[in-house]
Copies of this chain bind each other. A is one copy, B any other.
Amino acid sequence: MVRVGINGYGTIGKRVADAILKQDDIELVGIVKTKPDYVALQAVKKGLKIYAPDADSAKAFASAGIPVSGTLQDLLGQVDVIVDATPGGVGAKYKPLYEEVGVKAIYQGGEKTHVAEVSFSSLCNYDEAVGRRSVRVVSCNTTGLLRLICTLHNAIGVKSVRATIVRRAADPKEIKRGPVNSINLDPVKLPSHHGEDVKTVLPWLDIITAAVVVPTTLMHVHLVNIKLSRQASIEEVLQALQSTRRIILVDTKRTGIKSTAEVIEAARDAGRPRSDVPELVVFKDSITVNGDEVILFQAVHQESIVVPENIDAIRAVMNIASREDSIRKTDETLGLGKPLW
């Protein structure tokens, strides 16, 4: 049984915690939370052990009447792996502490590449993460791009990628972000960092991405244009995409779904926890194949898409399962690929 702690209990941390609770080979020792708010109260209710980042924060929890089991330092003493789900850039500050204690660390995509020995995407490079001391699970958009690219690359071969990323402005819970009525080029100067981030996993790939931010909270949408390494049929492309539970194909003709709002509504109605859709959502009717060129729309649920990869990363660094076994176990326990209708 691998013993794991989670540092940071926000959007990613709370979802990784729930996912770990569903695994039989990974034990959640505790989570680190900075503030004694409603999310902390829910964690207590769920039976999780809460740790504070330091003694001062621990006092704040105590005066709020929320019991803590110690500090981050105490938690680190009891775990094999720490999943760092702190805000972007904060993980790098904790890195020396993790290394000093000698725990393996899983960072998130908000950290710079060099924070970890390897950047990670289950379908692309699980084996490169095996036994490592530190791994960085790439960000939500990069995870979405990599799932598509590696699935097509493994089945057919990919030469180059051009993608436009239409980003959601804020997560549903974020009340201070925008824009409210604007399309922001993010950034103006091309390429956006997403393509560069893809190259941390696939350094050989010719990829250029561009991103805009738009006033919505639900999901990102990508228009992806891929040059395959040979001509292919649409059937081959569909077969490849259907070969993994990490990708859901949405059939618009059958379901009527043609927007992010309808994808999330389907997930709500289907009883998905938090209405999450950790699978990459590819719109089947958008798939266009012209010789060696594939064009399609896909949607990325920014809050949950990296959760399966975090679970796989834990197994990889501890070398307790092969790529295939870890992915199968994660997919089954999290219900990935389960039809939404």
A binding-site residues for B, Cβ under 8 Å: 162, 164, 166, 168, 179, 181-191, 208, 210, 212, 214-221, 223, 225, 252, 258-262, 283, 285-286, 288, 290, 295-297, 299
Q: Is the CB of A295 within 8 A of B208?
A: yes
Given contacts A221-B183, A286-B185, A286-B188, whether A166 and B216 have CB atoms under 8 Å apart is: no
State the oligomeric state as a number of copies: 2
Q: How far is the CA of A63 from the CA of B191 in the complex (A)?
A: 60
Which residue of chain B has its CB nearest to the CB of A182? Answer: B261
Q: Is the CB of A259 within 8 A of B183?
A: yes
Given contacts A164-B164, A179-B259, A288-B191, whether A185 and B215 have CB atoms under 8 Å apart is: no
Cross-interface CB contact of A217 among B181, B210, B261, cutoff 8 Å: B181
Query: Which residues of B lie under 8 Å from residue A285 when comparing CB positions?
Result: 188-189
Q: Is the CB of B219 within 8 A of A183?
A: yes
Q: How far is the CA of A283 from the CA of B184 in the complex (A)?
A: 12
Residue in A181, A183, A286, A295 with the greatest tally of chain B CB atoms within 10 Å: A183
Query: Which residues of B lie under 8 Å from residue A296 when comparing CB positions?
Result: 190
Q: How far is the CA of A215 from the CA of B213 in the complex (A)?
A: 11
Nearest first, the 7 A-B pairs at minimum CB distance are A182-B261, A164-B164, A214-B214, A184-B259, A164-B223, A183-B221, A188-B252
